[in-house]
Amino acid sequence: MNRSPQAWLPLILTGVVIILDRLTKQIVDKTMDLGDSIPFLGDAVRWTYVHNYGMAFGMKLTGGVVLGYISILAVFVILFVLLRTPPKDVPTRWILAAILGGAIGNTYDRLVYGYVIDFIDVNLPDFLMDRWPVFNIADSAVSVGVVLLILMMLFIKHPKEEEAEATDGNVEVNMPDSLVSADGMTLTDAPRFDSGVAEYAVAEEARRVGEADKSDEGEPGDDPEPEQDDDREVRS
């Protein structure tokens, strides 16, 4: 797991989301009665205080203790994915940090109160629905973050995919500016080679030099004269 300071930096956004979520919920709980609805931008946006015993936006797929366990598990999964995301993938890391803050905010409500405080009430055009389900800051962070992740997966290439397309499957190796053989012949002046081309050129030059050495050894007159024995036989 990445433990560098940069890996933990997006958690600042997580803390901001948690603080804003807790602060707004406390204000609503202290200043409004359950069921109150106060216009904010006319009828388009209202503050409506409700208790949500289900999931985000009032969805009731499950509830109670099971939903609490699911929320805790989701927090740890998001944190794990965030810390495992490469540091170069900055947008994904910050989006996951926002989602983590929203998940922690709503999980706190479920564990402490047994429900989630919702208060943002938005009106939608009649052909869609009467009004959007009441939500909170944590719900906004989670839903916006998930939408952004989906859009990134659909329209933005991952850094690894860009590198793969750039290399097009060819592995490049750094070569000297001038690779010179034993007899002074230059193999190439190019600074970079595909690995297959470089290996072939070196192998061919080595073979040629080897054949030249063998031919030199076989030329007549080049063999050194055998050493003569200075000792002489003494005839009696």
DSSP state for residue 34 in the 8-state scheme: T
Could you give the CA distance from residue 12 to residue 18 in angstroms, rounded to a whole number?
10
Question: Which of these, 153, 15, 34, lies nearest to 94 by C-alpha position?
Answer: 15
- CB contact burial 164-199 (16+ within 10 A = b; e otherwise): eeeeeeeeeeebeeebeeeeeeebbeeeebeeeebe
- Alpha-carbon distance 235 to 228, whole Å? 19
Round to whole Å and give the CA distance between 152 and 35. 38
**Distance in angstroms between the alpha carbons of the first and the last residue of the chain:** 96
Q: What is the per-residue pLDDT for 190?
A: 45
Beta-bridge partners for 41: 45
Ranges of each domain in the chain: 5-165, 171-218
Angle between helices 11-31 and 90-112 (to 10 degrees): 30
190: Cβ contacts below 8 Å, ≥ 6 apart:
175
In this predicted structure, what is the pLDDT of residue 4?
64
Complete DSSP assignment for 93-134: HHHHHHHHHHHHHHHHHHHHTSSEEEEEEEB--TTT-SBPPP
CB 81 within 8 A of CB 96: yes
> Region 138-152: what's the mean pLDDT?
94
Residue type, position 115, single letter: Y
Nearest to 142 by CA among 193, 181, 90, 107: 107
- pLDDT score recorded for residue 125: 77
Which residues are identified as catalytic? 118, 139
- Amino acid 25: pLDDT: 97
Provide the mean pLDDT of the chain: 76
The answer on pLDDT for 143 being more than 80 is yes
pLDDT in tens, 38-65: 999 888 999 999 999 876 555 555 556 6
What does R_g of the chain's alpha carbons equal in angstroms? 37
Residue of 28, 21, 1, 29 whose CA lies nearest to 101: 21
Higher pLDDT, 209 or 93: 93
Between 115 and 215, residue with greater pLDDT: 115
Tokens of 9: 């930096």
DSSP E strand boundaries for 123-232: 172-174, 179-180, 186-188, 192-194
